[in-house]
Amino acid sequence: MSRPAPRVVEFFSGPDDLSDQQREILRKMGERFPELTVDELPLDSDKARERGIPLAPGLVIDGVILGVGSVVSAGRIRRYLQPQQE
């Protein structure tokens, strides 16, 4: 059986509670979806500027911006990931 294709998650974080919550959700999601590769980057990184992310936490999966300035729930991440796996 082939392994699922890797999924790239860009997580733009700041020194705030929402970023902490998002980090924890991503950690748990990583246990369930081993194909997820989380790349945590600071909000003032070049990548954040390139994406136009103005607020933390920012979440981008496979190049699609799914969250800015608020926590993206596990349910939302799952809904985004699963239809593409079916």
Is 3 a binding residue for another protein by CB under 8 A? The answer is no
Nearest in space to 78 (alpha carbons), one of 39, 41, 28: 28
CB nearer another protein, residue 1 or residue 46: 46
Cβ at position 45, least distance to another protein in Å: 16
Residues 38, 41, 65, 74: which binds another protein (CB under 8 A)? 65
Report residue 23 as tokens.
């980090």
Question: How far, in Å, CA of 51 to CA of 8, rounded?
Answer: 14
Centroid of chain to Cα 4: 17
Is 1 a binding residue for another protein by CB under 8 A? The answer is no
CB nearer another protein, residue 2 or residue 76: 76
Residues 29, 38, 41, 68: which binds another protein (CB under 8 A)? 68
Question: How far, in Å, CA of 15 to CA of 56, rounded?
Answer: 9
Question: How far, in Å, CA of 27 to CA of 50, rounded?
Answer: 25
Can you give the binding site for another protein, defined by CB under 8 A? 14, 16, 51-55, 63-70, 73, 75-77, 79-80, 83
